[in-house]
Structure formats: structure tokens, C-alpha cells
């Protein structure tokens, strides 16, 4: 009888010696909501908040103390309009949040999510005409939002809108505006997913009519993920992404095997809320479930893990 695999698992020291994949604090990205108003809880995402500018410094001190090296910012403006103009306002909420963060923590990597849905009155990710999102009229606005976040000090812009051609448009404009060193993390593979539900509460961005199916990907498709990623890399994406994460580990694996750009997996709001709800009911071991989920993403080929559990995970890693 062959016993070797059993011997390799015989005690914790040996298991640690031979283990293949582990999470590092530097892999983690913490998504944060910054609101133009008072700090608020998010009903469907317990323990996650929408931070006011006043409360942001205190939140960041906890985030950085835990050892988190990168944050991903979403802005929630006071006023929304048809063209999402607060997304590219010099004094917009996310721009002010970025400036404040860079003053306090110049080393912290600030990633600015670029999309219009948190800023438009109709909740869609682009310009709407006759109930349709118009791709090419949206591009210049995404470009303006990217340049204004770079100007505020973002290290990375992360377009999450899924319009075609946005990476090339944004790259060109960043370069023309002296932001050659600002990276683009593209939401290259973003499925139209039910798991974004809690985020839409958090960002107050549920579409007022229709769905995002005309621009986000159909979850029945995988070859399309390869095509979308190739286009984004050709257009200038520095970092690529698959989103959501756990239900799409096959896609993470395929994309990681086909491309050598650093790959991020986004453990989205619904994935967070499922674990959190079960944990709050005493139905699941929260720490174990989170660490297993994040490790699975790395095992599938992701390098960067974007998760609302980032701060907790960093603390847990510190205890291990």
C-alpha cells in the first residue's frame, strides 16, 4: 500500500512544510464606501459602513494598523443626475476622500473604482437614451472620472462599467495628462450577477429600470472571459480581474492560465453577506469559512484578493 500522502499530512508542522498556497496581507484589497453625508451602516452588509469624510481617518487607522496595503474606493454622492456628473467633479466625494487618504497615508495604495452607476439618477453604468445604455457616449465620462481620480492622487483606476473600449480611452487620457504611472486595474471579466445585490444597497445604485445584462457578462459564458481579458490587455490594462469570485473559480483558473498579467478576484458583497449571515446565526465558523474561500481563490490562480473581509483576514493572518 502506498502511504506517502498520509505521511505528508501527519501533523501541523509537516502540513505547513508542504502546503502549496497561502495568503499574504499584501494580497488583500479592502473595498470602502465614502459617503457625502453622515456615516451609515449597510443593512445587508453587517459591520461594513459607508464612511463620512470625518470618520474616514479613524477607519483608515484601523485598516492600516491591520496591515492592509490597498483600498478600493466607491463614492456615494449627495446628488445624482442623468450623466453622473459627481463622478468627475474635482470636489466630488471620492476625489476628496482620495486626497485626504493620500495626505494621511501616502504609502497606502488607493484604487479608485470608476463607474457611473453610483452617480446616475437612473442607476445605470452609462449614458441612457431610449432606455438603452449608449457605450460610446459613456466613454468620455469614464475618461473624465479616471483623470479626476488620478489628479486627486489615486495610484490605480479600476473601471467597473464594462463599456467596450474604455481601457484604451482611459489609458490614452491618463498618458496625455501626465499620469503615465497610474495603473489600470480592469474589471475585465465582470458577470451580471445576483451576488451584487447588497452592494447596490450600499452604493444606492440599483438600476431604476431594466438590468445590467446588456453590458455585463452572461454567466453561461467562459470563452467570452478570455476574449474580454485579451481585449483589455491589448488596450493597456495592467491588472485584470474576475468578478464575482467563488462561483467563478473555473473562470479564474482559465484566465490565470491564459494571461500573465496579475489577476484579481473580487469576493463580492453577496459572497460577504452569505458568510456573515450564516456566521451571525451560528451556522458556520466565520474565520475558517473566510480563510478557506480566500485560499481557494489563490489556489485557482488569483494573486490579488478584493474582499470586504480584508481587515478581518489581515488580523486573523496576524494571529496564525
Rule CB under 6 A: which residues touch ligand PBG?
113, 115, 117, 125, 160-161, 196, 199-200, 212, 268-269
Q: Report the residue number, 82 or 257, with the smaller CB distance to ligand PBG.
A: 82
| 190: annotated active-site residue | yes
Q: Is 189 exposed, middle or buried (0-12, 13-18, 19+ CB in 10 A)?
A: buried
Q: Is 287 marked active-site?
A: no
Nearest-approach distance from CB 221 to ligand PBG, in angstroms: 17
In whole angstroms, what is the distance from residue 119 CA to residue 117 CA? Answer: 5
> How is residue 149 written as a grid cell?
481620480
Annotated active-site residue in 69, 80, 144, 190: 190
Which residue, 144 or 200, has its beta carbon nearer to ligand PBG? Answer: 200
Q: In the complex, what is the shortest distance from the CB of residue 12 to ligand PBG, in angstroms, rounded to a whole number?
A: 34
Q: Which is nearer to ligand PBG, 31 or 301 (CB)?
A: 31
- Closest distance between ligand PBG and the C-beta of residue 310, in Å? 12
Backbone φ, ψ for residue 257 (5° rounding):
-80, -25
Q: How far is the CB of 154 from ligand PBG (least distance, A)?
A: 15
Instruction: Report DSSP state, residue 206.
Output: -
Residue with the closest Cβ to ligand PBG?
199
The helix/strand count (H/E) of the chain reads as: 12, 13
Q: How far is CA 276 from the centre of its chain?
A: 18
Cis peptide before 244 (omega within 30 of 0): yes
* Of residues 23 and 265, the one with the C-beta less far from ligand PBG: 265
The whole-angstrom separation of Cα 144 and Cα 114 is: 10
Q: How far apart are CA 272 and CA 211, in angstroms?
A: 22
- Shortest Å distance, C-beta 87 to ligand PBG: 11
Residue from 317, 244, 248 nearest 287 by CA: 317
Rounded Cα–Cα distance for residues 95 and 188 (Å): 24
SS (H, E, C) 87-118: HHCCCCHHHHHHHHHHHHCCCCEEEEEECCCC
Choice among 69, 243, 276, 298 that is catalytic: 243
Give the nearer residue to ligand PBG in terms of CB position, either 161 or 235. 161
The residues that are catalytic are 190, 243
Amino acid at each position: 500500500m502506498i502511504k506517502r500522502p498520509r505521511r505528508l499530512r501527519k501533523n501541523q508542522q509537516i502540513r505547513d512544510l508542504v502546503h502549496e498556497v497561502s495568503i499574504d496581507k499584501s494580497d488583500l484589497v479592502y473595498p470602502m464606501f465614502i459617503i457625502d453625508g453622515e456615516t451609515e451602516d449597510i443593512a445587508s452588509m453587517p459591520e461594513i459602513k459607508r464612511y463620512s469624510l470625518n470618520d474616514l481617518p479613524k477607519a483608515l487607522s484601523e485598516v492600516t494598523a491591520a496591515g492592509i496595503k490597498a483600498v478600493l474606493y466607491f463614492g456615494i454622492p449627495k446628488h445624482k443626475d442623468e450623466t453622473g456628473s459627481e463622478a468627475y467633479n474635482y470636489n466630488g466625494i471620492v476625489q476628496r476622500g482620495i486626497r485626504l487618504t493620500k495626505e494621511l497615508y501616502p504609502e497606502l495604495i488607493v484604487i479608485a473604482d470608476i463607474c457611473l452607476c453610483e452617480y446616475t439618477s437612473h442607476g445605470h453604468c452609462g449614458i441612457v437614451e431610449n432606455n438603452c445604455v449608449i457605450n460610446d457616449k459613456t466613454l468620455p465620462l469614464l475618461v473624465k472620472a479616471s483623470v479626476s481620480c488620478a489628479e486627486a492622487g489615486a495610484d490605480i483606476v479600476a473601471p467597473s462599467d464594462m463599456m467596450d473600449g474604455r481601457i484604451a480611452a482611459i489609458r490614452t487620457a491618463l498618458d496625455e495628462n501626465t499620469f503615465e504611472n497610474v495603473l489600470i486595474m480592469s474589471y475585465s471579466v465582470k458577470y451580471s450577477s445576483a451576488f451584487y445585490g447588497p452592494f447596490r444597497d450600499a452604493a444606492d445604485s440599483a438600476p431604476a429600470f431594466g438590468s445590467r445584462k446588456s453590458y455585463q457578462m452572461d454567466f453561461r459564458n467562459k470563452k467570452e472571459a478570455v476574449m474580454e481579458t485579451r481585449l483589455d490587455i491589448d488596450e493597456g490594462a495592467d491588472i485584470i480581474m474576475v468578478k464575482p469570485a467563488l462561483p467563478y473559480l473555473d473562470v479564474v483558473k482559465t484566465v490565470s492560465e491564459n494571461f500573465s498579467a496579475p489577476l484579481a478576484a473580487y469576493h463580492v458583497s453577496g459572497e460577504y453577506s452569505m458568510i456573515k449571515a450564516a456566521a451571525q446565526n451560528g451556522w458556520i465558523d466565520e474565520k475558517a469559512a473566510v480563510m478557506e474561500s480566500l485560499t481557494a481563490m489563490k489556489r485557482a490562480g488569483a494573486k490579488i484578493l478584493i474582499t470586504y473581509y480584508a481587515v478581518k483576514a489581515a488580523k486573523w493572518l496576524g494571529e496564525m
